[in-house]
C-alpha cells in the first residue's frame, strides 16, 4: 500500500512538473515552410527545433536546432506576454539539384533574432530573422542565407 501511494505521489509530481513547462507547436513561414517546436530549457530560455522544406526550387529539406536566450520580456500590454529572443544553433540540409541530377548535404550554423507574443489563449505569434551559413559537398549554400519568418504556434 505504501509503495502504491509513493508511486502515485511520484507520478502526480512528475505530471505537475511536466505541465508547468512551456511548449509550443506550429509552423514558421519564411524562406520555406517549417514545422516548429519550442520547449523551455531554463528560466525563459528555450530550444527551438524545426523541420522544413525550403522554397528554392522546392528541393531542399532541412532540420534546425536553436538555443534561444530570452533577451527581454517587455510589459507592453496588460494581457498576454511579449518576448525578445535570440541565439545560436545548427542546421543540416539535403538539397536535390535537378539540373545536376545529384544530391548535396549541407551543415552549418544558424542564428535567430525575434519577437514573440503569446496570447492569453494558447496562441503564439512570432516574427524573426534567421541568418544561416551552410557548407557541404556542393560548396556554400547561397540560397536563404537571410530568412525572415512568421511563426504561428499552439502554446501548451
Q: What is the pLDDT of residues 13-55, one digit of tens each?
A: 444 444 456 899 999 998 788 999 999 998 899 999 999 887 6
Band of pLDDT at residue 12, cut at 50, 70 and 90 = very low
Which sign, positive or negative, has the C-alpha torsion 100, 106, 111, 116? Answer: positive
The more confident residue out of 6 and 22 is 22
The mean pLDDT of 71-89, rounded to a whole number, is 94
Confidence (pLDDT) at 68: 97
The Cα–Cα gap between 156 and 152 comes to: 13
The Cα–Cα gap between 17 and 30 comes to: 34
Q: What is the mean pLDDT of the chain?
A: 83
The Cα–Cα gap between 49 and 55 comes to: 19
The Cα–Cα gap between 4 and 74 comes to: 46
The mean pLDDT of 111-132, rounded to a whole number, is 94
The more confident residue out of 52 and 4 is 52
Amino acid at each position: 500500500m505504501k509503495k502504491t501511494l509513493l508511486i502515485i505521489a511520484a507520478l502526480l509530481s512528475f505530471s505537475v512538473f511536466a505541465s508547468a513547462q512551456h511548449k509550443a507547436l506550429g509552423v514558421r513561414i519564411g524562406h520555406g515552410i517549417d514545422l516548429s517546436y519550442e520547449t523551455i530549457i531554463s528560466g525563459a530560455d528555450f530550444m527551438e527545433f524545426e523541420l522544413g522544406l525550403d522554397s528554392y526550387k522546392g528541393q531542399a529539406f532541412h532540420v534546425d536546432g536553436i538555443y534561444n536566450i530570452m533577451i527581454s520580456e517587455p510589459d507592453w500590454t496588460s494581457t498576454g506576454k511579449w518576448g525578445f529572443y535570440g541565439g545560436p544553433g545548427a542546421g543540416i540540409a539535403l538539397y536535390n539539384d535537378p539540373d545536376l541530377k545529384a544530391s548535396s548535404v549541407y551543415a552549418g550554423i544558424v542564428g535567430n533574432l525575434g519577437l514573440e507574443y503569446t496570447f492569453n489563449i494558447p496562441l503564439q505569434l512570432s516574427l524573426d530573422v534567421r541568418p544561416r551559413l551552410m557548407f557541404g559537398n556542393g560548396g556554400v549554400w547561397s540560397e536563404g542565407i537571410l530568412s525572415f519568418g512568421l511563426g504561428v504556434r499552439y502554446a501548451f
